Amino acid sequence: MFEILNATFSKFYNPSENLAIDKVIIPFKGRVILKQYLPKKRKRFGIKIFKLCDLTGYKYDTKIYLANDRQHTAQNVTATHATVTKLTRKLEGHGQKL
């Protein structure tokens, strides 16, 4: 579902020069592999999603945070670093500021 939305967002919208990455935790206590446990946060259980947003707040791209991503563990890169790199890969060389 996220892949379809991301493809549609990037197809019909050209982002402005200034972009921001935002982390959102969607509260969820059910059983799912994507669930994170953050003991120091008010929302302790949830799904962590990173969004690449425009200055107007329009969401250009989203990625679900996967802490146990084995592909990036082999590259000696943290999961957060890999997620941010994936979000900005489509816009490299286009002159946007993060």
The three-class DSSP label of residue 21 is: strand
Domain span including residue 48: 2-91
Name the residue with tokens 């500021």. 97
Supply the mean pLDDT for the chain.
76
Q: In sequence order, which ranges of the chain are alpha helices (DSSP H)?
A: 2-12, 70-73, 79-88
Residue 98 lies in a domain: no
- Could you tell me the pLDDT band of residue 89, with boundaries at 50, 70 and 90? confident
Quick check: pTM over 0.75? no
Residue 31 lies in a domain: yes
Residue 32 lies in a domain: yes
Residue 96 lies in a domain: no
Give the total number of structural domains in the chain: 1
Residue 86 lies in a domain: yes
Residue 56 lies in a domain: yes
- Could you tell me the pLDDT band of residue 95, with boundaries at 50, 70 and 90? low
Residue 97 lies in a domain: no
Looking at the DSSP bridge assignments, the partners of residue 2 are none
Percentage above 70 pLDDT, the chain:
84
pLDDT at position 69 is 58
Which are the contacts of 54, defined by CB distance < 8 A and separation ≥ 6? 13, 15, 16, 18, 19, 60
Residue 6 lies in a domain: yes
